[in-house]
Amino acid sequence: MPVETTRPLAVVTGATAGIGKEFCDQLAARGYDLLVVARDANRLEAVRRDIEGRYGVAADVFPADLTLDDDVSRLVGLVAGSFRIELLINNAGFGSRGNLADASPKQQEDMLRLHTMAPMRLTQAVLPVLLQNGRGGIINVSSVASFLYSAGNVNYCATKAYLTNFTEGLAAELKGTGIRVQALCPGFTRSEFHQRMEVDVRKLPSWMWLSATQVVGASLRSLDRGGRVVCVPGLRYKLIVTLLRHVPRGLIGGMSRLRAPAM
């Protein structure tokens, strides 16, 4: 845990790349201390040095594999005891490709643990502190995929649907408490995500791409003003999600046979 200061503390999972790293930047610029979580300890240390050097806030690193119960339990123990926590960003995630029948059972189980169990346990751990302080927020990084189902991306869509639905229910439960929760649902965003999946996304048109800066900026602005629980950055994706929420579910099955990469 960072040295005790009077600054609010934000916990960011998946903090070493893409959207998570951008959350670290924008939150540090707003004066938050940070607890940064990911598996690669060297990259976490680089994030810590960069954040502390550029923004003059305190950051601490917590190397953890959030697919592992023991690592999640260690983090739960740490965050449950911190009264400075104001923001939890459940962001760590990954995509996979291919049919379930051919996929590695361990990888699919890891996805369920990382996208559902870890955010749920971390959320439960910080809630007592946030409720006691009567302020703060939780952002669960879901996806436009949470409104879809798709051949070749069965568990990615299903786990993100859990995360969006979980967040909407939690928001209803926390109404009037002063705590804000958000399901952040980006479309295709430039990061390491697709490279890690080893998919070729060069054919996707440029209008489909968002930057992590856009995504995180939209998320934090919406949280500031007490905007919608489901935050979809970018007008084009707002329109797509509105459409997806209204078309018959059967039509989505037809589209899913196009086998677009996960987002």
Ligand X SMILES: NC(=O)c1ccc[n+]([C@@H]2O[C@H](COP(=O)([O-])OP(=O)(O)OC[C@H]3O[C@@H](n4cnc5c(N)ncnc54)[C@H](OP(=O)(O)O)[C@@H]3O)[C@@H](O)[C@H]2O)c1
Q: Given the residues 21, 32, 55, 160, select the one marked as catalytic.
A: 160
CA distance 209 to 148: 18
From edge to edge, which strands make up the β-sheet containing 136-141?
A: 59-63, 33-38, 9-13, 85-90, 136-141, 179-184, 230-231
Q: How far is the CB of 176 from ligand X (least distance, A)?
A: 29
Minimum distance from residue 23 beta carbon to ligand X (Å) = 9
Catalytic hit among 156, 162, 175, 238: 156
Nearer to ligand X, 18 or 234 (CB): 18
Distance CA 11, CA 3 (A): 14
Tell me whether residue 5 or residue 243 sits nearer to ligand X (CB atom).
243
DSSP string, 142-184: --GGGG---TT-HHHHHHHHHHHHHHHHHHHHTTTSSEEEEEE
How big is the chain, counted in residues?
263
**How far apart, in whole angstroms, are the C-alpha atoms of residue 204 and residue 15?**
26
Q: Whose Cβ is closer to ligand X: residue 133's or residue 214's? A: 214
Binding site for ligand X (CB under 6 A): 13-20, 38-40, 43, 64-67, 91-94, 114, 141, 143, 186, 188-189, 191-193, 196, 263
CB of 132 to ligand X, least distance (A): 27
User: Please, what is the minimum distance in Å from the beta carbon of residue 58 to ligand X?
Assistant: 20
Based on CB atoms, which residue is closest to ligand X, 49 or 196?
196
**CA proximity to 189, closest of 263, 120, 255:** 263
- Catalytic residue status for 21: no
Q: Which is nearer to ligand X, 18 or 137 (CB)?
A: 18
Q: Is the dihedral of CA 98, 99, 102, 105 positive or negative?
A: positive
Minimum CB–partner distance for residue 175 and ligand X (Å) = 26
Q: Is 179 left (phi over 0), alpha (psi -120 to 50) or beta?
A: beta
149 is catalytic: no
Tell me how far apart the alpha carbons of residues 145 and 147 are, in angstroms, rounded to a whole number.
5
Q: What are the residue numbers of the active site? A: 156, 160
